[in-house]
Chains A and B, each alone.
Chain A
Amino acid sequence: MAEPLLSLDDLAVHFKIGNALGGGIKTLKAVDGVTLDVKPGECLGLVGESGCGKSTLALAIMGLLPPTRGTIGVDGQEISGSKAPDRMRMARTVQMVFQDPYASLNPRQTVRRTLADPLRLHGVRDKAEVEARVMDMMAKVGLRPEQADRYPHEFSGGQRQRIGIARALILKPKLVLCDEPVSALDVSIRAQIINLLLELKDELGLAYIMISHDLGVVEHVSDRVAVMYLGRIVEQGGWQEIFENPRHPYTRALIAAIPDPFHRAAISAKAKARGEIASALNPPPGCHFHPRCPLKADICVSQDPVLAAVAEGHRAACHFRDRVS
């Protein structure tokens, strides 16, 4: 079995909120004990709603936020330990595609510069080689060579996202973290970008972490899926297991919430979650999902459920994981 490309072990990122004078300091447990790994060439879908900590998790993986607890290992090297992470090596291993293609490109840089600068920074000195790699990458993401000297505002949203993808791939990383890569795009453009990401994955042997709240997209692209709720992973497993045999009531609520006339009767209205997502500042005791859960019992309030196996490679953090069906 291949070594994992990325392994998170009990990762937690907490923030201190407020000040000592006004109401005291509170701890926001944005990510609270996440254990995950991603193997080379694999696509892990990360699903969750606002406040579940998926964006914080992404920033921690990228080395932009220090973990409070736990470790992050990238390509066999621990990035969060006592040794300072080697940013240059990290850059050549893990890259990121951002959600908003309008804010994620420097408005004062041409496409050529956006792609060529990182190459030069990482020691590609030969001008011809830089040029060749820039042109090659532009072709890969479906941009024409004559567009190299244009500025971001001359492109549409979909084209900008192509530039963002090219930038993420120019250093030939092994893992690309895609943070809601299509949710800011026009509906009719999304399929283009999803297809492109999948083609590039096969062509370049990339591994992805696909963060999305759109279950249709996640099911389409993922090999494995992890579902997050209020800083914790509540269920993870192979995509087919998660979508056809979800064992956590929250996963079922997510699936039930998808408005799709073709899919309407698949999971009954019972599965829908009630009420609102609690604040991560003040999560409910025990299972964080219990106030909204249709299966709530006393044990859910008093005890944290552990993420335990229900089948080969399929784990769920629910006291009733074996009874959900």
Chain B
Amino acid sequence: MSTAIKLPRLRLKGGTSLWIGGGLVATAVMAAVLAPWIALTDPVMDANLMNAEIPPGLEYPFGTDAQGRDIYSRIVYGARISLSVGIISQICNSLIGVTLGLTAGYWGGWWDDLVSGLTNLMLAIPSLVFALAIMAILGPGLVSLVIALGLTSWSYSCRIARAQVLSLKSQGYVQAARILGYGDLRIMFTQVLPNILGPLIVIATLGMGGAILSEAALSFLGLGIRPPFPSWGSMLSEARDQITTAPWLSVFPGLAIFFTVLGLNLLGDGLRDILDPQSTTRRA
């Protein structure tokens, strides 16, 4: 309607999801950063078969595993690996996806056809299977894990970036920039990218959760982090046989994954609200 009333701008400071999600993610990050100080024992070296499979209690809050290592300490150290895999691989995905999506949407033509075809191809292959294949070639290990996960799920960022560019391309300010003599790359980076960052950050946050889950899955299959180094996925993998006799071995790493991924998803939802350009008021 032409005469909609001008609504007063809502000052959204992010909803509860932003705060809960942010809190959960911050906890995981704190655990990773402060691991040497808050861990009770060394996660790898302090194996002691005398203490094997002690249930959670005062001395070992989350219990111990089959080698007698403190699970709490291993989870705290495991946060370092799980989070860095999640963050680094998602940064790779975002860089690939945004670069391809931005250029495909802006230039169009054969390049767009090529990128769109590739994206559809990537979406048609289950990314975990793809990652598995890469891991099988590269062999297990942290670096190959990051590569495998960082190359296989950029299609979401790419699609979002491309769609956003297509809708922005005809906006007056993009045309104005061309008329002012701006080059294509300058327009993409100064005019288009800043205005599509919001949804891309949301996708990246959600993707990070996905990457952590994939890391867990790959490690569970024995293709991820090699023992004895702890990642949440490899801990779950090792705990497989004792799931009935010593359930705490699987429960606590499982909960760590659950809360971190939940936190990232909530954070992504919360960011979606505040990254709306209308609500990012910065007054001079």
Contacts and interface: CB of A to CB of B under 8 A. Distances in A.
B173 A62 contact: no
B176 A98 contact: yes
B171 A64 contact: no
A76 B56 CA distance: 86
A31 B35 CA distance: 69
Given A91-B181, A107-B195, A153-B277, A117 B175 contact: no
B178 interface: yes
B178 A108 contact: no
Contacts of B175: 62, 64, 96, 98, 104
Contacts, number: 76
A223 B179 CA distance: 25
A153 B281 contact: yes
Q: Interface of chain B, helix or strand or loop or mixed? A: helix
B245 interface: no
Interface residues of A, number: 36
Interface residues on B, range: 20 to 34
Contacts of B283: 150, 154
Interface in A72-122: 87-88, 90-92, 94-96, 98-100, 103-110, 117-118, 121-122
A95 B195 contact: no
Contacts of B186: 121
Nearest to B284: A149
Contacts of B182: 118, 121
A96 B179 contact: yes
Nearest to B277: A107
Contacts of B173: 103-106
B32 to A, nearest CB: 32
29 contacts: A62-B175, A63-B179, A64-B179, A87-B178, A87-B181, A91-B181, A92-B181, A98-B175, A98-B176, A100-B172, A103-B172, A104-B175, A105-B172, A105-B173, A106-B191, A106-B194, A108-B194, A117-B190, A118-B180, A121-B181, A121-B182, A121-B186, A150-B283, A151-B281, A151-B282, A153-B277, A164-B172, A167-B176, A167-B180
Interface of B: 171-173, 175-182, 186, 190-191, 194-195, 277-278, 281-284
Interface of A: 62-64, 87-88, 90-92, 94-96, 98-100, 103-110, 117-118, 121-122, 146, 149-151, 153-154, 164, 167-168, 171
